[in-house]
Amino acid sequence: MPHPPTEEAHRLGATLQGLGANPDFGAPGFRILVFAPVGRTAELAKQALGRAGFACTVCAAMDEFCAAFREGAGAALLVEEALSSAASVRLLVDALTEQPVWSDCPVQVFVANSEKPSPPLATLARLCAGRSVLLLDRPVTPGSLISVMRAALQNRARQYALRDLLAQYDEARAEADSANRAKGEFLSVMSHELRTPLNAIGGYTELIEMGIRGPVTPEQRTDLERIRMSQKHLLGLVNEVLNYTKLETGTVEYDIADVPVREAFASAEALVMPQARAKGLELVIGETERAMAVRADADKLRQILVNLLTNAVKFTHPKGRIYLDCEREGECICFTVRDTGIGIPEDRLAAVFEPFVQVRSDLTRTQEGTGLGLAISRQLARGMGGNLVVVSAPGVGSTFTLKLPA
Ligand code: ADP
């Protein structure tokens, strides 16, 4: 069954239907160029079109016609005799194919027999296949000339409307890009500005703790410890925001090399094992072939694995298990970090990769975090030509799969 049309689709449909409605055919963009070098065709066509309210410019030579065409036209009218040489066909084809992407100016050519075109006409038809070039058999009555030209100008009006839409779209995109850049620069400057006083807080706390400012009571020592923990936490958050903005603004460089999977596993394990043990979790590292290697930036690969493993530790209850595995899949290496934790509801699976998203704020408030870890990890994975995805079931656990080129 087809889906019921959404409001958005209705709006788009209405916009498309309204494209080029009620154009003013007397406007300069709708002038009809006529080039008919023999007989009285040009004069008669100009009279008939003028009576119908169309603006008309008669050209005396092919290069004059092409120059006028490049300046802008609503439609064009030629006769077979204007295209009797290969040179004139080439001039016309050049002018037609130089049009911008949105433009396909309708061109009508009056011919003796459209089923048996002369060799130059056959060339024109071949080189302009897919464009609005129409061969019309003579004689053409004034009535059919006007109706053909009206249809051509209506078609042109839609092209103009499309051109205007594209310009609006380009403008909106440029504005969005510049707003995004400004946001990135703001965050980056803010993060730098925040780090300086945070480092000062850390430094002075240390001085006091060392007793340099005088004796410290046990109660004061406990308070100083809390200040230091908060300072470290805040500094961590600020650094994460800074890392994320660097990724967003594309200023991150990747040092890609063959990284042995075993080494990547060992360095991630060393960093995460203490947290897992402290929480009573078992960390199970899979066996890998000695020679297995992945094309990656070693530091960034470790950052992603540590991120995924730290999350698994955070969101798995004590006595749970966390598995780190790796296998080859065609031209790729797939790393999996699986846990037996709280899982992620299906309707939040895509959102966890968005910046600043945390599924359960009640839990994460006690668990620390910015909601940037997965956004950063996926950007890094993509930056190395791979991807990061997740499958999960609430109450059962989550599996994050990092795919990278082998
Ligand atoms: P943070 O961990 O700093 O909150 P992340 O971007 O790393 O940010 O994760 C975003 C959210 O995704 C987490 O707050 C959590 O709700 C959810 N999440 C991530 N990993 C897991 C996991 N292994 N199990 C359950 N939920 C997870």
Residues flanking ligand 1, CB < 6 Å = 311-312, 315, 339, 341-344, 352, 357-360, 364, 369-375, 398
**Per-residue pLDDT tens over the stretch 32-47:** 999 999 889 999 999 9
Please check whether residues 159 and 264 belong to one and the same domain.
no
Å from CA of 109 to ligand 1 middle: 66
Domain boundary among 170, 203, 223: 170
- Strands ordered across the beta sheet of 32-35: 56-58, 32-35, 75-79, 107-111, 133-137
Please list the ranges in the chain whose pLDDT falls under 50. Answer: 1-5, 364-366
What's the domain range around 279?
A: 257-405
Please check whether residues 278 and 307 belong to one and the same domain.
yes
Please check whether residues 273 and 390 belong to one and the same domain.
yes
Please report, for the domain that includes residue 164, its CATH number: 3.40.50.2300
Please check whether residues 185 and 98 belong to one and the same domain.
no
Residue minimizing CA distance to atom 7 of ligand 1: 373
Buried b (16+ CB within 10 A) or exposed e, 90-108: ebbbebbeeeeeebbbbbb
Q: Is residue 2 assigned to a domain?
A: no
Q: Is residue 109 assigned to a domain?
A: yes
Structure letter (DSSP) for residue 351: G
Å from CA of 325 to ligand 1 middle: 19
Residue minimizing CA distance to atom 1 of ligand 1: 371
Domain count, the chain: 3
Please report, for the domain that includes residue 353, its CATH number: 3.30.565.10
Å from CA of 334 to ligand 1 middle: 20
Q: Is residue 22 assigned to a domain?
A: yes
Å from CA of 231 to ligand 1 middle: 22
Q: Which atom of ligand 1 is nearest to the CA of 312?
A: 23
In terms of Cα–Cα distance, which of 74, 239, 101 is closest to 170?
A: 101
Please check whether residues 69 and 117 belong to one and the same domain.
yes
Q: Is residue 213 assigned to a domain?
A: yes
Domain boundary among 194, 227, 248: 248
Please check whether residues 188 and 134 belong to one and the same domain.
no
In terms of Cα–Cα distance, which of 78, 135, 132 is closest to 103?
A: 132
Q: Which atom of ligand 1 is nearest to the CA of 316?
A: 24
Please check whether residues 186 and 124 belong to one and the same domain.
no
CA separation for the pair 23, 14 (Å, rounded): 17
- Strands ordered across the beta sheet of 282-285: 282-285, 321-329, 332-339, 397-405, 387-393
Please check whether residues 22 and 162 belong to one and the same domain.
yes
Give the phi and the psi of residue 116 in degrees, each rounded to 5.
-125, 75
Please state, in angstroms and as integers, the Cα–Cα distance from residue 174 to each residue in 92, 161, 180, following that order.
35, 20, 10
**Per-residue pLDDT tens over the stretch 146-194:** 999 999 999 999 999 999 999 999 999 999 989 888 888 888 888 888 9
Å from CA of 225 to ligand 1 middle: 27
Domain boundary among 123, 139, 170: 170
From 240, 352, 378, 398, give the residue whose CB has the most ligand 1 atoms within 8 Å, as the site to mutate.
Answer: 352
Residue minimizing CA distance to atom 21 of ligand 1: 311
Q: Is residue 361 assigned to a domain?
A: yes
DSSP-assigned states of every residue in 196-264: HHHHHHHHHHHHHHTTTTS---HHHHHHHHHHHHHHHHHHHHHHHHHHHHHHHTT------EEEEHHHH
In terms of Cα–Cα distance, which of 284, 286, 344 is closest to 314?
A: 344
CA separation for the pair 25, 153 (Å, rounded): 7
Provide the pLDDT for residue 12. 61
Provide the pLDDT for residue 47. 94
Provide the pLDDT for residue 281. 97
Please check whether residues 160 and 14 belong to one and the same domain.
yes
Residue whose entry in the numeric block shows the structure tokens 């459209």: 114
From 313, 336, 349, 358, give the residue whose CB has the most ligand 1 atoms within 8 Å, as the site to mutate.
Answer: 358
Please check whether residues 128 and 223 belong to one and the same domain.
no
Provide the pLDDT for residue 17. 61
Q: What is the separation, in whole angstroms, between the first and last Cα of the chain? A: 43
CA separation for the pair 343, 396 (Å, rounded): 6
